[in-house]
Amino acid sequence: MAMEREKSKFIKDHVYPDPPIECGLKVGDTVKWRNDNGVVWENKVVGFDKDVRDRFIYLDTDCYWFPERPDCIFEVNGKPYKAL
């Protein structure tokens, strides 16, 4: 329960609804992505960092505070995705 409160507060205080650059993603999209160890996950996009950096996409994961790179994502809402 405490983690959910922390997560909600982090999203409210630090995560933005619009991406800092066009990336073809929006809040609520279900994405499949591959982490740095090659493990595939499926999560929802919860928002974006306000600054353009290598990693700026926040996903609904246990590591909600750590954004992902667009090139890690390979599927959006059941359709193939390639980072713009």
Instruction: For residue range 57-71, list pLDDT tens digits in order.
Output: 999 999 999 999 999
For each of the domains in the chain, give its residue range(s) and CATH number, in order of start: 2-80 (2.30.30)
For residue 48, give the H/E element and its range. Answer: strand 40-48
Cβ-proximal residues to 42 (8 Å cutoff; 6+ apart), any chain: 30, 31, 32, 33
Cα 3 to Cα 74: distance, rounded to the nearest angstrom: 28
For residue 51, is pLDDT > 90?
A: no
Give me the residue label for tokens 């994961």.
Answer: 61
Cα 78 to Cα 60: distance, rounded to the nearest angstrom: 17
Residues in the chain: 84
pLDDT tens digit string along 2-35? 888 999 999 999 999 999 999 999 999 999 999 9
Work out the pLDDT band at 76, boundaries 50, 70, 90: very high
pTM comes to 0.92
